[in-house]
Amino acid sequence: MLLRGSWRRLAQPSAPRPWHRRAGSEAGAAAAPRYEVVVIGGGHAGAEAAAAAARGGARTLLLTHKIGTIGEMSCNPSFGGIGKGHLMREVDALDGLCGRVCDRSGVHYKVLNRCKGPAVWGLRAQIDRGLYKEHMQKEILNTPLLTVHEASVEDLLLTEPEPDRPGKCQVTGVVLGDGSTVHAGSVILTTGTFLRGMILIGLETYPAGRLGDQPAIGLAQTLEKLGFAVGRLKTGTPPRLAKDTIDFSGLQERAADNPPVPFSFLSEAVWIKPEDQLLCYLTRTTLKAQEIICDNLHLNNHVRETTRGPRYCPSLESKVLRFPNREHQVWLEPEGLESNVIYPQGVSMTLPAELQEQVIRSIPGLEKAKILQPGYGVQYDFLDPRQLTASLESRLVQRLFFAGQINGTTGYEEAAAQGVIAGINACLRVRGKPPFIVSRTEGYIGVLIDDLTTLGTSEPYRMFTSRVEFRMSLRPDNADARLTHRGFEEAGCVSQQRYEEAVKMRAALEDGIATLKSLQFSISKWSQLVPEVPISSSRRLPLSAFDVLRYPEANMELLARVVPEPLGKLAQWRQLAERLKIEAAYEWCVENQQQEIEEVRRDEALRLPEDLDYFAIDASLSLEVREKLDSNRPQTIGALSRIPGITPAAIVNLLRFVKTNHQKAENLSSEQCGDRLMCWGPGQS
C-alpha cells in the first residue's frame, strides 16, 4: 500500500487560537531566559543543528532528555557508506561535527567502491559507540555560545505571525516539563521518531521512541493542533549478539583499509593505528531461517501491517518474502574496541524473542550465539516535509525548523546534513539574513532537501548516488571546494582555520592545473617518457601533462618522476596529487555537466511567491494541478518542474500569472516582441 494514500491532516482545533497560551507561562515571561536559537533533541540532527547555530554566532540552547545520550548511535555502529559518505564530507565542509568525531572514534575504516571511480567512493567506518558518544559530547559541551540543558519540552510558545510572510503564527519559545519557559528567536525540532512512536516485537507493542526512552506527548499534541500533515513509516533494528558466543573461524573476513581515509578535510589521519583496526565478518542466512519466518508470520504484527517500510533497509522477514529461496548476507560488525556486542547487519527482525534466537542460530557461525537484546520494529509518524521550505523552516509556523528523522529520512548522515542546514538557517533567520540554500547542483545535501521538500517521501528516505543528477561534479573529494567558501561567507558557520585551509587548497589546485596544462609535449615524447600510459596516437596536437594525467594508468607520482621540475612539488603534497588526478579524469564530464547545471540554476532562480493561493489564482490550471501545487508548494520553477504530473503548459501558465501579477514594474514595449510572436502562425506564401 502506498503511504501517500494515507496522508492525513491532523484535526484543526475549533476553539482557542493556538497562540493563546496558559497564563502561567506568560507570567513567567519576564524572568525567562532568552536564546537566539533553541534546539529540541540531542540526536544526530540536534547536535549538528545546535553546533552549527552556535558556530554561526547565535546564543544557542540544546534541550535534551539526557545529556548522556547526546551522540548515541541508536542503530547500526557505522557511519558513512555510498552516498552517505558524500553527505558526511559536505557536513564536514560546512564545519559540522560528525566527520571529525568519526575520525577520532572509528575502529574499521573502509572506502567502499574503491574500484568504481572517485565520484562514487563511499567513505565508511565502523565506529566505537562509546568513543563516538564521548567525543561528540566533548564537542558539544565545549562549543562556545552553546548551552546544553536537560529538560523535556512540553509545548511551544506561539504568537501572531509576521505579516509579510506566510504562516499562521510564529514560535517565540518553548515550555519545559517543569512549566518554566525559554524564549527563542527560532526553534529547531529534531525529535526523531517521537511522534506516536511504537515499538513492536512479535505481537507486543510499546509506545516509545528508542527502547527505554519516553515519547513526548505534549509537543506532539501541539503539532497536531497546529494542523501539520503527518504520515506513518516503519523501520527496524536487528538483535544484538554476544561476541564471545560467535564462532568466527569459518567466516569470510573483511579487512579495513590501510592507510585509513579520514572523513574530515581537516584530519591528516584517523586516530587509530591501521594495524589496530578490527575486522568485520560475512556470513549468510540459510533456508532454515526462511522456514522459521514463514511458519510464524501470524506472530509478526510489524511485517503484516501495511505501513510503508524502506525498500532498501528491509527486515529479514520482507527479504525472505520478496526474494525467497536465497541466501541473504549478514555482516557481523563490531560495536567497539572493548565491546562484547556484535551488530548483525542484515537481519533486522520483529519476531517474538525466542523465535529470533532460533533464526539467529540457524546461521553459520552463530549456532551458539547469545542474543543480548532482541531486534524490534519501530513505527512512527513523521511530518510531511513538503510543509517545509528549502531552509527547513516550516511554512505553517514561522521560525520553527525541523530536521532529521522527523522529516521522514533514515540514517545518521541524512539527519546530520539536515541538522547543519537547519542550524545555519535558524541562526540566519534571527539575524534577518537571507536563507542558506544548497542547490541540487551544489551538493548531496541539496538533493536530499530538495527531494524532501518538493516531492515528500513515502518511505524512510536514504541517500543514494543514483538520486544525484550531477554525480560527476558532486564528489566526496571536492566537497570543500563546493561548500566551505559559501559556508564561511554566507552562513558564517565555518571556522577561520578551515576556511584558510580551503582557500589554500583551492589556490594550490588552480595552480597545479595551470602548471599541468602548460606543460606540453608531442605525443611521441610522452610515449617515450611514460611508456606505461597508452596514449592514443590518433591525435596530432601536443598533449599537456593534464591530458596525460587523465589516463587511468597515469598518476602524479609517475609524472613527477619523469618531469620532476615543475611537477615534483605537486606530487609531494599527497592530497593535492590525488585531487589533481581526479580533476583531470573528470574534467570533460564536469564541463559537459556545467551547461545542464546552468539550466537547473536558471530555473531555480525563478522563484514563486510563497503565499500563492493556488486555488484562487486566475490562471488556466486544472484542479489536479492546483491540488498538486498546493500540497507541494514548490519554491522555484526548478522545483515545480520536478513534481510528477506537472505539464509544461502548467509551468508556462503559472509563470505568466506570476510575472504579470508580481512584476508589473517590468515594462516591455509590445512593439518589440509582439511582432515576433506572429511567427507562431503559418508561414507566408
Contacts to other proteins from residues 343-402, by CB under 8 A: 345-346, 348
Q: From the CB of 361, what's the least distance to other proteins, in Å?
A: 21
Of the CA atoms within 13 Å of residue 60, those in its CB half-sphere come to 34
Residue placing its CB nearer to other proteins in the complex, 249 or 595: 595
Residue placing its CB nearer to other proteins in the complex, 423 or 460: 460
Cell numbers for 681, please give them.
502562425
Residue placing its CB nearer to other proteins in the complex, 112 or 481: 112
Sites for other proteins among residues 433-492 (CB under 8 A): 464-467, 471-472
Q: Which of 119, 145, 545, 625 binds other proteins (CB under 8 A)?
A: 119
Residue placing its CB nearer to other proteins in the complex, 94 or 120: 120
Q: How far is residue 153's CA from residue 219's CA, in Å, rounded to a whole number?
A: 7
Sites for other proteins among residues 149-208 (CB under 8 A): none
* Number of residues counted as binding other proteins (CB under 8 A): 82
Nearest-CA neighbor of 408 among 379, 382, 376?
382
Give me the residue label for grid cell 537547519. 422
Q: Which of 249, 325, 537, 684 binds other proteins (CB under 8 A)?
A: 684
Q: From the CB of 668, what's the least distance to other proteins, in Å?
A: 7
Residue placing its CB nearer to other proteins in the complex, 294 or 652: 652
Residue placing its CB nearer to other proteins in the complex, 94 or 261: 261
Q: Which of these ranges, 11-19, 269-277, 318-326, 422-430, lies near other proteins under the rule CB under 8 A?
A: 318-326
Q: How far is residue 553's CA from residue 487's CA, in Å, rounded to a whole number?
A: 36
SS (H, E, C) 58-119: CCEEEEECCHHHCCCCCCCCEEECCCHHHHHHHHHHCCCCHHHHHHCCEEEEEEECHHHCHH
Sites for other proteins among residues 223-262 (CB under 8 A): none
Q: Which of 76, 191, 389, 409 binds other proteins (CB under 8 A)?
A: 76
CA-based torsion, 637, 638, 639, 641: positive or negative: positive
Q: Which of 18, 28, 33, 117 binds other proteins (CB under 8 A)?
A: 117
Q: From the CB of 517, what's the least distance to other proteins, in Å?
A: 8
Residue placing its CB nearer to other proteins in the complex, 5 or 683: 683
Q: Which of these ranges, 222-230, 295-303, 380-388, 663-671, lies near other proteins under the rule CB under 8 A?
A: 663-671
Query: What's the angle, vertex CA 26, arms to CA 24 and CA 27, rounded to 5?
Result: 65
Q: Which of 319, 395, 581, 628 binds other proteins (CB under 8 A)?
A: 319
| Contact pattern for other proteins over residues 489 through 528, marking x by CB under 8 A | ----------------------------x----x------
Q: Are 410 and 459 in contact (CB under 8 A)?
A: no
Q: How far is residue 544's CA from residue 241's CA, in Å, rounded to a whole number?
A: 57
Residue placing its CB nearer to other proteins in the complex, 46 or 81: 81
Q: How far is residue 346's CA from residue 450's CA, in Å, rounded to a whole number?
A: 29
Residue placing its CB nearer to other proteins in the complex, 496 or 670: 670
Question: Is there binding between residue 591 and other proteins (CB under 8 A)?
Answer: yes
Nearest-CA neighbor of 319 among 282, 345, 280?
345
Q: From the CB of 359, what's the least distance to other proteins, in Å?
A: 16
Q: Which of these ranges, 14-22, 76-84, 214-222, 569-577, lies near other proteins under the rule CB under 8 A?
A: 76-84
Tell me phi and psi for residue 153, to 5 degrees.
-105, 125
Q: From the CB of 627, what's the least distance to other proteins, in Å?
A: 18
Sites for other proteins among residues 561-590 (CB under 8 A): 585-586, 588-589
Q: How far is residue 367's CA from residue 192's CA, in Å, rounded to a whole number?
A: 35
Q: Which residues pair with 207 in a beta bridge?
A: 198
Sites for other proteins among residues 528-547 (CB under 8 A): 538, 540-542
Q: How far is residue 359's CA from residue 328's CA, in Å, rounded to a whole number?
A: 13
Strands annotated E in 287-441: 329-334, 341-345, 371-373, 376-383, 397-398, 400-402
Q: Are 155 and 178 in contact (CB under 8 A)?
A: no
Q: Which of 9, 20, 322, 368 binds other proteins (CB under 8 A)?
A: 322
Sites for other proteins among residues 80-109 (CB under 8 A): 81-83
Strands 229-237 and 341-345: unpaired
DSSP structural state of residue 643:
S
Residue placing its CB nearer to other proteins in the complex, 170 or 473: 473
Q: From the CB of 10, what's the least distance to other proteins, in Å?
A: 27
Burial class (CB in 10 A: 0-12, 13-18, 19+), 536: exposed
Number of Cβ atoms within 10 Å of the Cβ of 337:
14
Q: From the CB of 78, what's the least distance to other proteins, in Å?
A: 9
Q: From the CB of 151, what's the least distance to other proteins, in Å?
A: 34
Question: Is there binding between residue 11 and other proteins (CB under 8 A)?
Answer: no
Number of Cβ atoms within 10 Å of the Cβ of 149:
14
Question: Is there binding between residue 617 and other proteins (CB under 8 A)?
Answer: no
Q: How far is residue 193's CA from residue 189's CA, in Å, rounded to a whole number?
A: 11
Q: From the CB of 412, what's the least distance to other proteins, in Å?
A: 13
Sites for other proteins among residues 255-314 (CB under 8 A): 310-314
Residue placing its CB nearer to other proteins in the complex, 531 or 648: 648
Query: What's the angle, vertex CA 244, arms to CA 239 and CA 246, rounded to 5?
Result: 65
